[in-house]
A and B are shown apart, each in its own frame.
Chain A
């Protein structure tokens, strides 16, 4: 006989047949089936090969703890490896393929490992592949990885969309079984905001699998009725197909919703999966209990399953897992499975009960072997018999399936993810949920209750307690009458002695009892060490089925209570979560937000090439026809700025508006140079230090009126400077009346530089901007021709006559266009940040290449700016430390190659002439370098030991990366117009 679909019964929709394939063969199932139930209905018991020994494996469970039935679902880019057939919801045209076998599932070459298994015990590769060490990475590990394994990820890009979402509730109920349903109902009727999440595609949990009657109807129908009522409550959100996988700080739960995993043709408008972050005031864990396998010889043969799983296939899916089923149990669950099978006309050959006696009702005519055990099983691709043993007498019993029940372990995983350990209960012979103080409690069988009526009652009771703690009152829930309950209690049996074959503890990782013993003998006795040494409890199932047996067996080996052994650490994720769901929409162009300058449109029109600068996309250069390299464009832009004029987008600089009667004093303390006497209508360059005396940032600040300033910062440090100022204002000097707000986004700002800048600007600005009326460092509000109000600053980064014009962002593009038109006849060009950089290096201005977190004002030649006569400013005290004033510090210098055609690159190190490259001989480094079209050769800014004393010295610029040595002459850092004549034109 075989496994088959019963003529009637179960909750699968027999009216809707679905076609699917497994390893290329076509099968039929029903809507409401899992892949596993549909395969069993088609007598496909063999579903996988084991991880290490390639042993044939069937399905063991009917839920998310499944260790064996891992398959690859879907085709092409949508292939998903290691899906558990027990939780894959069947859909039409589903494609499933078995894994870790060659050439086929039935005939797997890798099964040779099983023959070699005496040599492949725990830790064998640590011992075997030790020498030579080099071979591990190159040879051994790839070989082992190929031989042992799970499914393979595909290399194509995932075609589907994913999302992340937040949601909030008073009460999160995890698990929609009996306790979860009554908890949600009690809280929902009381008006609380409730979320009921369950990993299954149908809410109801164990009630969908049990044959008891609840409230006068089958348990399954009662669950459906309750779910229907919950669905009508506007304050209750039902979340089927949603696994709550993690519990995080502040009562945030992580959950993943499989939105379209069960759909044959996914909609492009919906995500495939959605990652939820659920913020719950309270949570109830009603995740149920996991049935333990028994650890006996040959317990991994296909057809050996947990008793509960067999009931689920029978009652929920209408599938008999065999025609002749034997039962091996140490508690009531085995008897219930036998009774349900008999009731549906399935032959039960024997119940082997490890206990000498029990009060469990025996179905009529079924043989019970009390005080017996199973020592081995027979069959290869499927069990065909077992050896039962009692008091030394062995007997072969024929069967095509074996139900095993080793008792129950509450599923307390989530409650232990933040450090609390589960607590051993001698009474329940199980690890129980820790007491977490009321915000997160377990209910139902997760809290150790066995019976259906107790679980229904406990769910409602826990909901009442939780509601009370939230200040809500709930009416008592009328609990339904339960008929046909069974006693699920059991006697502990960790290991069945007398095994004549491997007795597996962890099916997924092929860990058997012998491995655990070896780990103890070899000193890996702590349970965490035992886990790592044997791999028990690793990989995708994380030991959901085997861990508690591992603990019990190790406790038995050591002769102590499982309480003394304890469990390994529980961590998120409860079950595997795809990377797609974790990434959500944050991929490709959505990976990070992009900041767009108000002049981006203007730059595009002028043909700009863009460069990413943090989140900003800045115009880097503006290639023209015939220019083959970026350097050609940049050289042209630089020369044109020096000869005529150029327009550059500087909108990305941080802009901070400063108000208050204390603003002048505040600026005087935040900058190292003086700001108290800055007149209205003037701009000043300012240098900010950190508290430790190192330069923090630079920029200009302009006084627009008596108590109103506008500051610019560098692009990179805009946010940091604002935080720094808020911190100083709120904590250092709360007595100063000063307030700030960032206006970076309000203004489009452009720099117009070059000897013809004034002529061109005069055509756009109404006000008098002659040198007399608007001298160097003037800063005023002006009116453009046409009436637009703007801010104009006469400041220069290039060393040329230059202005920065700020206009409201929405007008930026139009104003830039107008300036380009106005300057056309004078040869204006657009220039980008590359030319801007060349212009400033030629002029010897520093940026964050030089102000890089290690340099003092004096290092970069700005020591005279430090107004030490001021009573205080940030950085004043610590800037006088010996280390910061030492004479041999690196100082800013300029470099020119001795041979004019030689190139100097940033990052190269400096050596004395004739010195060999070494750390001891290191004299400094090049911070900025470029080709200067103005001078016709490369120039550089560099940090050189005692640099300012060494002008004229010949040094070596050593570029270890490219293997070049270029002799260069040390010179002052200002290459163009050191007398500043151009600024005052």
Chain B
């Protein structure tokens, strides 16, 4: 007997039925990104960071001096696991189901995020490709700048509904729309 198992995104209840054309300020949720936690063992931090930096098809999100999130929208989990297995001094765990990735963009993005995080996101301080762990709407999140007016936010799955609702509330005055990106 084979069982057909359907994958369900935690934010489906928050997005289904609300699909509209995106406004200038929009938050897009990725359905099945690949996200891994990567840990560098003692003394291997620099080597692991360098090896991760040169990997193709993945982006690196800084969590702490020896911990990153590796994100890919193109490579599959097996491919990413393969890349990671080849890096000496690194351990990793698949978090693709444990994290929710959303991309918020638009002209008011910093005003909206100012209500969600306490960190200065001015481009002089938090430039493109910067990322850090921070409190986002009461939830521990990783926030990265992926463009002049675009940020990627990664939150734990169990708290994603709360954080997403709060983000939408904070985006109300800027007519923030929502949707899945794929």
State A593–B137 Cα separation when bound (angstroms): 8
In the complex, the answer to whether B3 meets A764 with C-beta atoms within 8 Å is yes
List B residues 89-112 near A (Cβ within 8 Å). 91, 93-99, 111
State A585–B96 Cα separation when bound (angstroms): 30
Q: Which residue of A lies closest to B38 (CB)?
A: A741
B37-76 toward A: CB 8 Å interface, digit per residue (1/0)?
A: 1011110000000000000000000000011000000000
Asked if A785 meets B3 with Cβ closer than 8 Å, knowing A270-B173, A745-B156, A813-B8, the reply is yes
In the complex, the answer to whether B120 meets A784 with C-beta atoms within 8 Å is no
Asked if A809 meets B10 with Cβ closer than 8 Å, knowing A743-B95, A743-B98, the reply is yes
A593-604 toward B: CB 8 Å interface, digit per residue (1/0)?
A: 111111001000
Q: Which residue of A lies closest to B125 (CB)?
A: A168
In the complex, the answer to whether B96 meets A739 with C-beta atoms within 8 Å is no
Chain A residues contacting B67 (CB-CB under 8 Å) are 741
Least Cβ–Cβ distance between A411 and chain B, in angstroms: 28
In the complex, the answer to whether B6 meets A659 with C-beta atoms within 8 Å is no
Q: Total interface residues on A, using CB and 8 Å? A: 52
State A594–B161 Cα separation when bound (angstroms): 8
A805 located at the interface, meaning its Cβ lies under 8 Å from any Cβ of chain B in the complex: no
Chain A residues contacting B159 (CB-CB under 8 Å) are 593-596, 615
State A746–B173 Cα separation when bound (angstroms): 34
In the complex, the answer to whether A814 meets B98 with C-beta atoms within 8 Å is no
Q: Which residue of B lies closest to A657 (CB)?
A: B93
In the complex, the answer to whether B170 meets A814 with C-beta atoms within 8 Å is no
B85 located at the interface, meaning its Cβ lies under 8 Å from any Cβ of chain A in the complex: no
B166 located at the interface, meaning its Cβ lies under 8 Å from any Cβ of chain A in the complex: yes
Least Cβ–Cβ distance between B48 and chain A, in angstroms: 11
In the complex, the answer to whether B115 meets A165 with C-beta atoms within 8 Å is yes
A255-292 toward B: CB 8 Å interface, digit per residue (1/0)?
A: 00000000000000111000001010000000000000
Q: Which residue of A lies closest to B115 (CB)?
A: A165
In the complex, the answer to whether A741 meets B3 with C-beta atoms within 8 Å is no
B136-156 toward A: CB 8 Å interface, digit per residue (1/0)?
A: 011100000000000000001
Query: Which of B91, B93, B98, B169 contacts A590 (CB under 8 A)?
Result: B169
Query: Which of A594, A597, A746, A813 contacts B98 (CB under 8 A)?
Result: A746
Least Cβ–Cβ distance between A916 and chain B, in angstroms: 50
Chain B residues contacting A764 (CB-CB under 8 Å) are 3
A317-354 toward B: CB 8 Å interface, digit per residue (1/0)?
A: 00000000000000000000000000000000000000
Least Cβ–Cβ distance between A335 and chain B, in angstroms: 48
Least Cβ–Cβ distance between B8 and chain A, in angstroms: 6
In the complex, the answer to whether B7 meets A810 with C-beta atoms within 8 Å is yes
Query: Which of A598, A659, A739, A818 contacts B5 (CB under 8 A)?
Result: A818
Least Cβ–Cβ distance between A195 and chain B, in angstroms: 12
In the complex, the answer to whether B8 meets A810 with C-beta atoms within 8 Å is yes
A167-180 toward B: CB 8 Å interface, digit per residue (1/0)?
A: 11000000000000
Chain A residues contacting B115 (CB-CB under 8 Å) are 163-166
In the complex, the answer to whether A659 meets B10 with C-beta atoms within 8 Å is no
In the complex, the answer to whether B4 meets A659 with C-beta atoms within 8 Å is no
Least Cβ–Cβ distance between A110 and chain B, in angstroms: 44
Q: Which residue of B lies closest to A655 (CB)?
A: B98
Least Cβ–Cβ distance between A550 and chain B, in angstroms: 39
Q: Which residue of B lies closest to A601 (CB)?
A: B8
In the complex, the answer to whether A595 meets B39 with C-beta atoms within 8 Å is no
Q: Which residue of A lies closest to B172 (CB)?
A: A269
Chain B residues contacting A810 (CB-CB under 8 Å) are 7-10, 32, 97
Majority secondary structure of chain A interface residues (helix, strand, loop or mixed): mixed
In the complex, the answer to whether B5 meets A786 with C-beta atoms within 8 Å is yes
In the complex, the answer to whether B98 meets A809 with C-beta atoms within 8 Å is yes
| Most chain A beta-carbon neighbours within 10 Å: one of B8, B96, B165 | B8
A592 located at the interface, meaning its Cβ lies under 8 Å from any Cβ of chain B in the complex: yes
State A784–B2 Cα separation when bound (angstroms): 9
List A residues 139-169 near B (Cβ within 8 Å). 163-168
Least Cβ–Cβ distance between A749 and chain B, in angstroms: 12
| Most chain A beta-carbon neighbours within 10 Å: one of B4, B95, B111, B137 | B95
Chain B residues contacting A744 (CB-CB under 8 Å) are 98, 156, 158
In the complex, the answer to whether A592 meets B98 with C-beta atoms within 8 Å is no
State A270–B6 Cα separation when bound (angstroms): 40
Chain A residues contacting B23 (CB-CB under 8 Å) are none
A852 located at the interface, meaning its Cβ lies under 8 Å from any Cβ of chain B in the complex: no
B100-138 toward A: CB 8 Å interface, digit per residue (1/0)?
A: 000000000001001101111010010000000000011
Asked if A745 meets B5 with Cβ closer than 8 Å, knowing A166-B118, A596-B161, A659-B39, the reply is no
A763 located at the interface, meaning its Cβ lies under 8 Å from any Cβ of chain B in the complex: yes
Asked if A786 meets B137 with Cβ closer than 8 Å, knowing A743-B95, A745-B157, A810-B9, the reply is no
In the complex, the answer to whether A815 meets B5 with C-beta atoms within 8 Å is yes
Chain B residues contacting A596 (CB-CB under 8 Å) are 10, 158-159, 161
In the complex, the answer to whether A277 meets B97 with C-beta atoms within 8 Å is no
In the complex, the answer to whether A788 meets B5 with C-beta atoms within 8 Å is yes
In the complex, the answer to whether A739 meets B39 with C-beta atoms within 8 Å is yes
Chain B residues contacting A271 (CB-CB under 8 Å) are 173
Chain A residues contacting B66 (CB-CB under 8 Å) are 739
In the complex, the answer to whether A786 meets B3 with C-beta atoms within 8 Å is yes
List A residues 561-593 near B (Cβ within 8 Å). 585, 590, 592-593
Query: Which of A164, A597, A601, A746 contacts B93 (CB under 8 A)?
Result: A746
A938 located at the interface, meaning its Cβ lies under 8 Å from any Cβ of chain B in the complex: no
Asked if A594 meets B162 with Cβ closer than 8 Å, knowing A739-B91, A763-B1, A785-B1, the reply is yes
Least Cβ–Cβ distance between A273 and chain B, in angstroms: 13
Chain B residues contacting A708 (CB-CB under 8 Å) are 91
State A165–B5 Cα separation when bound (angstroms): 42
Chain B residues contacting A784 (CB-CB under 8 Å) are 3, 5
A544 located at the interface, meaning its Cβ lies under 8 Å from any Cβ of chain B in the complex: no
Q: Which residue of A lies closest to B160 (CB)?
A: A596
State A585–B40 Cα separation when bound (angstroms): 39
Chain B residues contacting A193 (CB-CB under 8 Å) are 122
Least Cβ–Cβ distance between B16 and chain A, in angstroms: 13
Q: Which residue of A lies closest to B111 (CB)?
A: A165
In the complex, the answer to whether B2 meets A786 with C-beta atoms within 8 Å is yes
Least Cβ–Cβ distance between A136 and chain B, in angstroms: 42
Chain B residues contacting A597 (CB-CB under 8 Å) are 158
Least Cβ–Cβ distance between B93 and chain A, in angstroms: 5
Q: Which residue of B lies closest to A659 (CB)?
A: B91
In the complex, the answer to whether B166 meets A167 with C-beta atoms within 8 Å is no
Least Cβ–Cβ distance between B102 and chain A, in angstroms: 15
Chain B residues contacting A616 (CB-CB under 8 Å) are 158
B163 located at the interface, meaning its Cβ lies under 8 Å from any Cβ of chain A in the complex: yes
In the complex, the answer to whether A809 meets B163 with C-beta atoms within 8 Å is no
| Most chain B beta-carbon neighbours within 10 Å: one of A163, A660, A739 | A739
A808 located at the interface, meaning its Cβ lies under 8 Å from any Cβ of chain B in the complex: yes
State A745–B124 Cα separation when bound (angstroms): 34
Asked if A814 meets B117 with Cβ closer than 8 Å, knowing A270-B173, A660-B41, the reply is no
Least Cβ–Cβ distance between A760 and chain B, in angstroms: 13
State A595–B155 Cα separation when bound (angstroms): 12
Least Cβ–Cβ distance between B158 and chain A, in angstroms: 4
Least Cβ–Cβ distance between A268 and chain B, in angstroms: 8
A719-750 toward B: CB 8 Å interface, digit per residue (1/0)?
A: 00000000000000010010111011111000
Q: Which residue of B lies closest to A590 (CB)?
A: B166
A610 located at the interface, meaning its Cβ lies under 8 Å from any Cβ of chain B in the complex: no
Chain B residues contacting A786 (CB-CB under 8 Å) are 2-5
Query: Which of A167, A615, A747 contacts B114 (CB under 8 A)?
Result: A167
A811 located at the interface, meaning its Cβ lies under 8 Å from any Cβ of chain B in the complex: yes
Chain B residues contacting A740 (CB-CB under 8 Å) are 39
Chain B residues contacting A590 (CB-CB under 8 Å) are 165-166, 169
Q: Which residue of B lies closest to A589 (CB)?
A: B165
A-B contact pairs, 9 of them (CB 8 A): A593-B138, A593-B162, A594-B159, A597-B158, A659-B39, A737-B41, A744-B98, A763-B1, A810-B9
Q: With A601-B8, A659-B39, A808-B96 given, can you name 9 additional A-B contacts, CB distance below 8 Å?
A: A168-B122, A585-B166, A594-B162, A657-B93, A743-B98, A744-B98, A746-B97, A764-B3, A786-B4
Q: Which 4 A-B pairs have the closest CB atoms?
A: A746-B98, A659-B91, A745-B98, A593-B162
